[in-house]
Amino acid sequence: MTDTASSTTAQGLLILLSAPSGAGKTSLVEAVLKRDPNLVVSVSHTTRPKRPGETDGVNYHFVEPAEFEQMIKAQDFLEHALVFGNHYGTSAKAVEALRKQGRDVILEIDWQGADQVRAMTSDCLSIFIMPPSEDELLNRLKRRGQDSDETIARRFAEAKLDMSKATHYQYIVVNDDFERAVEDLLSILTSNRLTAARQTAHNPVVQTLVHSA
C-alpha cells in the first residue's frame, strides 16, 4: 500500500464559475463561502481602476497595464482576458499553492477564461449560473442604477452571448430562488468531493477498507 500520510491531504478542487452580468454570481459566491470553510476565491489581477470600497489584494490585485503585460510574457497566468476594455487574469502559482493546501479554489471567470483553463487541464469542475429569464436579467441590470442606457444595452448583449456558452459547462444552476441556488452549488461541491477516485486516493479509511478486501 502507498504511504497513507502522504495521501491524506487531497488536492483541492479547481472550480470554474461563470455567469452573465446580473445573474447574481457574486452574492451566491459570498453565501457559499460563509457555509463552506474549505472554499476560497482566487483573487484575480486586473488593470481596471479600483472602485470605492474595494481593497487591493482582497477584491483584486490592481496593477498597471505594463505590469500585466509583463506577467503575460512570463506566463504567470492560468488564464487572462480582456473584458469591457480591462484586463483580468488568474495567477497560476497562487491557485496551485491553495490547492496543495487542500483548499477548493473558485475562479470567478467568464467563458473565455474558462475555455483557456479547460484547454490547459481537464482537472477542473465547471458551473454556469443562469438568471431565471432574459426579462429578469434585464430588470436586474436596470435596478443597479449605476449604468447608462447604452451601457445596460451593451451588458445585456454580452450577457446573451455568455448564456449561449452555458452548455460548455458541466453544471448549470438557475438563480431564481436564491437559497435553492446556494444549496444547489453546495450539493455540486459535495458530490465532487465524494467521487470514488478522490476517496480512494485521499481518504485513509476508504484506502484501508479497499485494500483489506
What number is the average pLDDT over the span 133-146? 84
Is the distance from CB of 44 to CB of 61 less than 8 angstroms?
A: yes
Residues 6+ apart with CB under 8 A from 48: 60, 62, 86, 87, 88
**Cα 71 to Cα 198: distance, rounded to the nearest angstrom:** 33
Report pLDDT digits (tens) over 9-60: 679 999 999 999 889 999 999 999 999 999 999 999 999 999 999 999 999 9
Name the pairing type of β-strands 14-18 and 61-62: unpaired
Is the distance from CB of 85 to CB of 117 less than 8 angstroms?
A: no
Is the distance from CB of 118 to CB of 125 less than 8 angstroms?
A: no
Detail the DSSP E strand segments found in the chain. 14-18, 39-41, 45-46, 61-62, 77-83, 86-91, 104-108, 125-130, 171-174
Q: How confident is the model at residue 1 (pLDDT cuts 50, 70, 90)?
A: very low
Residue type, 172: I
Is the distance from CB of 111 to CB of 165 less than 8 angstroms?
A: yes
Alpha carbon 170 to its chain centroid, in Å, reads 13
Residue type, 150: E
**What predicted TM-score, i.e. pTM, was given to this entire model?**
0.84
Q: What is the DSSP letter of 52?
A: T
Longest dimension (CA), the chain: 66
- Which residues partner with 173 through β-bridges? 129
- Which residues partner with 16 through β-bridges? 107, 126
Report pLDDT digits (tens) over 154-201: 889 999 999 999 999 999 999 999 999 999 999 999 999 999 999 988
**Cα 199 to Cα 119: distance, rounded to the nearest angstrom:** 26
User: Is residue 65 pLDDT above 90, yes or no?
Assistant: yes
